[in-house]
Amino acid sequence: MAATAQVQGAQVPQGEKTPPQPVDQAKLKAEREAAKAAKAQMTPEEKSAAKKAKRKQKQQEEAQVEKVGNIPSGPQKAEALKKNVDATKGDPKALPDAKAKQEALKETTKKAGPGQ
């Protein structure tokens, strides 16, 4: 009985709710073979054009990562948003006009007390 529990626990890593989906290895192998055959039939000009296009795409992706950073998705995105919101909660709010700014300044000087 205990051995069965150990085997079941080993199948699903802790923290994951569902096991990974099965992958059709034959389908993947057929796709690889088809891509390899298509590449073998390409002329040298087509090969160089494909190489340039792939290089350009990779450079664009790297530039985007440098500019913005890796864009999180799913739970990472939610966590990043929550972290950002929590970090900015204590930031002062923008005041609409000069009078409101003066009132806020007076309040902060009152709170600070004399000599500060």
Every domain of the chain and the residues it spans: 26-84
- Averaged pLDDT for residues 29-41: 93
Distance CA 62, CA 59 (A): 5
What is the structure's pLDDT at 7?
A: 47
CA 32 to chain centre: 28
Distance CA 27, CA 78 (A): 34
What is the structure's pLDDT at 45?
A: 93
pLDDT digits 0-9 by tens, 39-55:
899 999 999 999 999 99
24 φ, ψ (degrees, to nearest 5): -85, 100
pLDDT at residue 91 is higher than 90: no
- Averaged pLDDT for residues 88-110: 79
The better pLDDT of the pair 102, 85 is held by: 102
pTM: 0.37
